[in-house]
Amino acid sequence: IVSNKLYATNVDFPLKSWYLGPIFRYERPQAGRYRQFSQFGVEAIGSNSPLMDVEVILFAATTLKALGLKGVKVKINSIGDEASRAAYRTALVEYFSKYQEELCGDCKTRLEKNPLRILDCKVDNKKEFFANAPKITDYLNEESKAHFAKVVEALKEVGVAYEIDPNLVRGLDYYCHTVFELEADIEGFGAQNVLGGGGRYDKLVSDLEGPQTPCVGMAFGMDRLLLAMESEGLLKENNDYIHLYIISIGDKARVTTER
């Protein structure tokens, strides 16, 4: 969008696209969570409609079901607009500062840099004080509440089972409004059963020096997705399909391929 200046062309928005490629992460590697991994994702660019959030969530949920994975669960939350998050961030810093000495090393750093990430911690979330932390839903303004209410209503209409998780924030600062993750019931995966996730990020394009452009998207980590399918016995070899189909264009090519 930014580097190719698609916003200055005659592209019809919303623009829907997909990608597949290598990604590198800074965090410590874990089981099914590698330093370098492959990611498949979809993006819907140019629409601020809550229904576009639902379309992306529906795509993700039906993809996992189509692959044969069972027990697929969609977890959603709203982290509101910029004003809502600013008020919530202040409340989190005030609350967790009282328990600073009990926070893990990563969360002590997050308290200063990005306190919302504390809610995503798999270490501190087991501690007693964590349960009483402020909830983002108490700090959403009316616009943010209305957006999330439409998302929830539409998910019900299209029959997507979901669970509202008030501690779900996703890891990147540019997210706003709807955020979501997709889990599957995979034996032996434990806490690593999140196979994909995403959300809305209306300021990302402008932060990269493009125009204000609403966006929503999601991605699957292919490595973990393949591990999940392997664990469920869904990667059985199937030879009942076409491996190669040659299309000849022009008489010269047709003669060559028919020899």
Q: How far apart are CA 38 and CA 28, in angstroms?
A: 16
In sequence order, the 6+-apart residues with CB closer than 8 A to the CB of 238 are none
Q: Does the bond joining 211 to the residue before it have cis omega, within 30 degrees of 0?
A: no
Q: How far apart are CA 56 and CA 220, in angstroms?
A: 12
Structure tokens at 59: 């795509």
Tens of pLDDT along the chain (259 residues) come to 778 777 777 778 889 999 999 888 776 666 656 677 889 999 999 999 999 999 999 999 999 999 988 888 899 999 999 899 889 989 999 999 999 998 988 889 888 888 888 887 878 888 888 888 998 889 999 999 999 999 999 999 999 999 999 888 876 778 899 999 998 888 777 666 889 999 999 988 888 888 889 999 999 989 889 888 888 888 876 656 666 777 767 777 666 544 4
Asked if 92 contacts 118 with a C-beta cutoff of 8 angstroms, the reply is: yes
Rounded to the nearest 5°, which phi and psi values hold at 30? -140, 180
Question: What pLDDT, on the 0 to 100 scale, is given for residue 131?
Answer: 85
Question: What pLDDT, on the 0 to 100 scale, is given for residue 50?
Answer: 96
Q: Please provide the DSSP assignment of 95-140 as one string.
A: HHGGGGGGS-HHHHHHHHH-GGGGGG-TTGGGSGGGGGS--GGGS-
Q: How far apart are CA 40 and CA 21, in angstroms?
A: 7
Q: How far apart are CA 218 and CA 227, in angstroms?
A: 19
Helix axes 105-113, 82-96, angle to 10 degrees: 140
Asked if 182 contacts 73 with a C-beta cutoff of 8 angstroms, the reply is: yes
Task: Determine how β-strand 162-164 pairs with β-strand 215-221.
Answer: unpaired
Our CA angle for 119, 125, 126, nearest 5°, is: 175
Residue 124 half-sphere exposure toward CB, CA atoms < 13 A? 25
Q: How far apart are CA 116 and CA 110, in angstroms?
A: 8
**Residue 165 DSSP SS3:** coil
In sequence order, the 6+-apart residues with CB closer than 8 A to the CB of 97 are 111
Global pTM?
0.82
Q: How far apart are CA 14 and CA 45, in angstroms?
A: 5
